[in-house]
Structure 1
Amino acid sequence: MAGFLDNFRWPEYECIDWGERRNVIVSVIAGILFFTGWWIMIDAAVVYPDQKSLKHVFHICGVFSTVSFFMINAVSNAQVRGDGYSDGVLGRTGAGVWLLIGFMLMFGSLIGSMWIFFGAYVAQNTAAYPGLAVFFQNVLIFFSTLVYKFGRTEELWG
């Protein structure tokens, strides 16, 4: 599965120089997705402040998604490939293990938010907005992680 995006390239437009603005554009898009996810969850917490409608423990999925966002983006692609990273505690292996733990946290949070949405709201026939907020928060943080992690690579942009 390694390198499945190696042969993928964005279309090259002559009117836009992506080379200089690539990191800025990707950072802005990822930031907007991350902000929107947290904004939806904060809105749900304000609209449903009591424990009966939105349990406070459901915020753990968003916190773990945020922690995994930082874990995943702390490791560069060059460190995982072993190009620019040879020192450190475990070198390339440590970077790969750190990235694996980050992705496991991210997918665990995403699966947990689906369980919260379907188990606590859809199956109980209660107001679905708090469950949707938990789910969309984690989905948007997940996509912001992917956009930031893989959008900054030079191979995709040319």
Structure 2
Amino acid sequence: MSGWLDNIECPRCECLETVGEKRNVIASVAAGILFFTGWWLIIDAAATVPDNEDFNHAYHTCGVVSTVAFVMINAISNAQVRGDTIGNGCMGQTGARVWLFIGFFLAFGALIASCWILFGPYVVDNCCPDNLWPGIAVFLQNAFIFFAGIVFKFGRTEELWE
């Protein structure tokens, strides 16, 4: 009974061959939409709940840290991390890896902090029982920015740049 699916071939769609040529465009647009959606959600939460008691404005720090992490993660190329570049730059491959590590550290830290903001003040402490939207918006903002950074970093290919 083993191997009975080995000879089955899936039909190939011709449209998928042209998608490979537009991989950078698709990944960039998808990352941009995710990034925009994250900031749009937090702007909506800040506009609908302007009171500092219901939505502490210090919670915006997570979104700012996520944005800085997004820039840090995508500021260096994968070739720099691998050490395939011609110039070594300031610290070479090690510096690029440390920079990338700090960027991911900030991104994960902001995502974890946004989880704490959602569950700490809004779910467990129940500061606003009728309005959980600000906590949800802070978490979604950081999740969308985090995934935008991942899509923008790993969704593009550098072969077309050469």
TM-score bracket relative to the smaller structure: 0.7 to 0.9
User: What 5-or-longer segments of structure 1 have no aligned partner?
Assistant: 1-11
Tell me what 2:112 maps to.
111
Structure 2: state its 5+ residue gaps: 1-11
> Of the candidates 115, 130, 136, which is equivalent to residue 132 of structure 1?
136
SS in 2 for 1:87: coil
- Contact persistence 1:86–1:92 (CA under 8 A): no
**Matched residues in 1 for 2:148 and 2:37: separation?**
10
Q: Secondary structure in 1 aligned to 2:15?
A: coil
Q: Report the residue type matching 1:124 in the other structure.
A: D
Distance in 2 between residues matched to 1:52 and 1:102, nearest whole Å: 31
- CA distance, structure 2, for counterparts of residue 98 and residue 141 of structure 1: 18
State the Cα distance separating 1:153 from its structure 2 match: 2.8
Query: 1: distance between equivalents of 2:135 and 2:20?
Result: 40
- The amino acid across from 1:135 in the alignment is F
Matched, 1:14 2:38: no
Change beyond 3 A, Cα 1:95–1:85: farther
**Are the structure 2 counterparts of residues 144 and 83 from structure 1 closer, same or farther at C-alpha, using a change threshold of 3 Å?**
same
CA RMSD of aligned residues (A): 1.5
Alignment of 1:43-54 (within 5 A): 43-54=44-55
Displacement over 3 Å in runs of 4+? none
Pick the structure with greater CA Rg: 2
For 1:63, the equivalent position in structure 2 comes to 64
Give the distance between the partners of 1:40 and 1:147, measured in 2 at CA.
Answer: 19
How far is the alpha carbon of 1:124 from its aligned partner?
1.9
Query: Aligned equivalents of 2:100 and 2:87: distance in 1?
Result: 16
Report the count of equivalent residues: 144
Opposite residue 129 of structure 1, the aligned amino acid is: W
Identity of aligned residues (%): 62
Give the structure-2-normalised TM-score. Answer: 0.84
Instruction: Tell me, in whole angstroms, the C-alpha distance in 1 between the residues paired with 2:122 and 2:41.
Output: 17
Give the Cα–Cα distance (whole angstroms) in 2 for the partners of residues 13 and 138 of structure 1. 35
Contact map agreement 1:85 1:92 (CA 8 A) in 2: no
